[in-house]
Amino acid sequence: MHDTDLNSDNLNSKVDIAALPFSQACENNKQPILEVLQIELQGFNHVLEIGSGTGQHSAHFAPNLPELQWQTSDVTNNHRHITAWHHAYPAPNLYAPLAFDLSTDSVPVNSQFNLPYDAMFTANTLHIISWALVERLFALAGDALPTEGKLIVYGPFNENGKYTSEGNQRFDAMLRAGNPDSGIRDKEDIVSLATTHHLLLCKTYAMPANNQLLVFQKY
């Protein structure tokens, strides 16, 4: 966590690691995602993570991507979870979460420095939020990113209007039962939406548990 008042030598002794908010999915996918980010973000400087959730991803990615400034963000209700992970696993290039509600906010900016974002990353968000908010996410990314900037998206996607696994079909049914506005998105719809905001799909990575990582680049 980027905070000069933190003493990283004794932080872990003060934090009950077992009590941290925990996502098994994050634990399972953090290393495969990191291996792709280490390839796709070479030469990049400043990443905004949209929807940092528990904070597990950022605490793993930042120290393993030391050349990047990793800025977390989420709705304020999740900040305590993210901050807990940052205190347990601090890194000099890891920044405390900014308030970011897709339904109302513009892209948040850290007032500590004036380095623009040249990449954005989001994991397991597009199937949780409504389609209207998916549209807003891509619109904001398209406006904020510079030419050749990247938007990297992780999660499950349908292919040609079909589920890629029975597990994804069950997961989609569960999502829609809880919130009819949520659900696994068709990859073709996402790609089409991206192009309207000058974001071109340049690479797709197959990931564990029938997930994908989509890399869009601004043109």
What distance in Å separates the CA atoms of residue 110 and residue 126, rounded to the nearest whole number? 24
Tell me which H or E stretch contains 45. none
Q: What is the pLDDT of residue 5?
A: 32
CA diameter of the chain: 51
47-79 pLDDT, tens digit each: 999 999 999 999 999 999 999 999 999 999 999
- Share of residues in the chain with pLDDT > 90 (%): 87
Q: What is the pLDDT of residue 100?
A: 98
147-180 pLDDT, tens digit each: 999 999 999 999 999 999 999 999 999 999 999 9
**What is each CA distance from 94 to 17, 19, 85, 146, 167, in whole angstroms?**
18, 21, 11, 22, 34
Q: CA-based angle 83:17:125, to the nearest 5?
A: 50
Find all residues with CB under 8 Å of 197, minimum gap 6, and list them.
138, 139, 141, 142, 143
| Size of the chain in residues | 219
- What predicted TM-score, i.e. pTM, was given to this entire model? 0.91
